[in-house]
A and B are shown apart, each in its own frame.
Chain A
Amino acid sequence: MQNIRLIARLDVKAPNLIKGIHLEGLRKLGDPGDFARRYYHDGVDEIIYIDTMASLYERNTIIDLISKTAENVFIPITVGGGVRSVNDARTLLRSGADKVAVNTAALKRPELITEISRVFGSQCVVLSIQAKQQDGGWEAYGDNGRERSGIDVIEWAAKGAKLGAGEILVTSIDREGTRQGFDLPLLQAITGSLNIPVIASGGMGALDHLVVAVKEGGADAVAMAHVLHYQELELTDIRRHAVSANLNVRICT
Chain B
Amino acid sequence: MSRVALIDYDRGNLLSVERALSYSGADVDITDDPDRVATAERVVLPGVGAFGDAMDGLRERGLIGPIRQFVASGRPFLGVCVGMQLMFNEGEEFGTHEGLGLLPGRVVAIPAKAADGSNQKIPHIGWNKLCPTRCDDFQGNALLGGIGNTPYTYFVHSFMALPSDKTDRVADCDYNGINICAAVNRNNIWGCQFHPEKSGEVGLRILQNFITMGWQN
Contact = CB atoms under 8 A, between A and B. Distances in A.
Report if A and B associate in a common complex.
yes
Interface of A: 1-5, 40, 43, 45, 70-72, 74-76, 93-96, 98, 120-124, 166-167, 195-197, 220-221, 249-253
Top 5 A-B pairs ranked by shortest CB distance?
A250-B127, A3-B126, A251-B150, A250-B152, A123-B156
Q: How many interface residues does chain B have, given as a range?
A: 35 or more
A3 B126 CA distance: 6
Contacts of B150: 250-253
Nearest to B13: A98
23 contacts: A2-B126, A3-B128, A3-B152, A43-B200, A45-B126, A71-B19, A74-B19, A74-B20, A74-B199, A75-B154, A75-B198, A75-B199, A75-B200, A76-B154, A76-B156, A121-B49, A123-B125, A124-B48, A166-B125, A167-B125, A195-B119, A196-B122, A250-B152
A251 B204 CA distance: 17
Interface of B: 13, 15-16, 19-20, 23, 48-50, 119-129, 148-150, 152, 154, 156-158, 175-176, 197-201, 203-204
Contacts, number: 93
B121 A2 contact: yes
Interface on chain B toward A: helix, strand, loop, or mixed SS?
A: mixed
Interface on chain A toward B: helix, strand, loop, or mixed SS?
A: loop
Contacts of B149: 253
B152 A2 contact: no
B180 to A, nearest CB: 12
B123 A3 contact: no
Contacts of B148: 253
Contact of A220 (B49, B126, B158): B126
B16 A2 contact: no
Contacts of B15: 70, 94-96
Contact of A197 (B125, B128, B204): B125
Given A74-B23, A167-B125, A195-B121, 13 more contacts: A2-B176, A74-B19, A74-B201, A74-B204, A76-B198, A96-B15, A96-B19, A166-B123, A195-B120, A195-B122, A220-B125, A221-B126, A251-B150
